Structure formats: structure tokens, C-alpha cells
Amino acid sequence: MKKVFILALLFTPFVLFAQNSIQLETQAYPAGIIPGVRFDFNIGNNSYLTSRIGYNFTDRQDFGKNDNEEGGGPGFGIGYVKSDFITQNLSAHIRTDLWFMDIDWRDSQTICGIAPPCFEQDINGTSKIIILQPTIGIEYNIPFSANLFLKPSLSFGYEINIKTKGREVGEGAILLIGLNVGHRF
């Protein structure tokens, strides 16, 4: 996990000199928030390749496979954006992120002996997971000047736990509402 994150950080200086915009990005979903930095590269015909690095904070409560799941971890993603989609300033995008998360979980189990009474026992632990998160969405560009812009977004995707060390934790559909503040070069 550390090697992949370090590789992403080493890649960042090259990205800073090649992009057409840099953006501070925040996405919120029912069980968490993802702040990050996004880089867009113009490839022509209103098309952009995007990359981002960020941190995924989650508090899944009982949305997951256990009574409570919370934690977080770093990650990065790549994607494609088609701007001026249908109408001016509206963009469509696809993106895939990879998150390296530590999830602290708590659950309870019912223990019954040969004869009543039964009782609840709390168990807890930590799972290390790698999540693949493909998404599709739309963004609307609100320019403030020739270089500064605000970009609200709405994305839908799926969290897939591709590697789990420890107890299985939640995965599934995800709806993300985002807001980017950016500078175009």
C-alpha cells in the first residue's frame, strides 16, 4: 500500500507541469467524505484525462456488514471527461479510484449455551482493504474569471473490495455529491 501511494506522490511533480487545470475537490457520500487534489489534461476535442489523489474518510455506521464500520485511507484515481456535453459547461465523466483503507469494525453476536439465557457479546477488529471504485457522473462548470472556476458534480458508482485482510466489511453502490474549486492554466 505504501509503495503505491509513494509512487503516486512521486508522479505528482510531473503532473503539475502538464495539466490544464488543478482543482481542490471534495466528494461527500452517505457514509463519508473524500477531499483531494485533481489534475486535468486537455487531449483535444473538449476531452480531458483526469487524475487525482485524496483521502477517503468513512463512518459507515451499520451500512456495512457489521454493526459499525469506520476508518479511512489514501487513494488515487484516473478518468476521462467530455466537456460541453449536451450543453455548454456541462461535462460527463467516468473515473476509477483505488483506495487503501483501514476499517475499524464492531459487531455483536448472540451466544447461547445449552440452556438459556442467551447473551450478546461485542467483538471488534480492524480490516485492511483495497477498494476499486468505478464511477460515472456529470459536472457543471461555473466560471468566475478566465482562470478560476467552481464545479459541482454528481456521480454514481460501485465500491468493490478487491482485497481484504481481516473480516469482510461493506461494499456496494455509492452516490457522490462533489464540489471542485479550480484554476485553469
Beta strands in 62-171 (DSSP E): 68-82, 90-112, 118-140, 142-143, 148-165
Question: Based on the structure, what is the number of domains in the chain?
Answer: 1
**pLDDT given at position 123:** 86
Confidence class for position 122, pLDDT limits 50, 70, 90: confident
**pLDDT given at position 5:** 59
Residue 115 in domain: no
SS3 114: coil
pLDDT tens digits for 26-79? 999 999 999 999 999 999 889 999 999 999 999 977 767 777 889 999 999 999
Residue 118 in domain: no
Relative to beta strand 47-61, strand 68-82 is antiparallel
Residue 113 in domain: no
Q: Is the pLDDT of residue 113 over 80?
A: no
Residue 38 in domain: yes
Question: At 51, which CATH number?
Answer: 2.40.160.20
- Check: pTM over 0.85? Answer yes or no: no
Q: Domain limits at 6?
A: 2-105+123-184
pLDDT tens digits for 82-91? 999 888 999 9
Confidence class for position 13, pLDDT limits 50, 70, 90: low
**Residue 74 CB partners (closer than 8 Å, separation 6+):** 5, 53, 54, 55, 56, 99, 100
**pLDDT given at position 79:** 98
Please, what is the average pLDDT of the chain?
89
Residue 111 in domain: no
Q: What is the mean pLDDT of residues 102-130?
A: 85
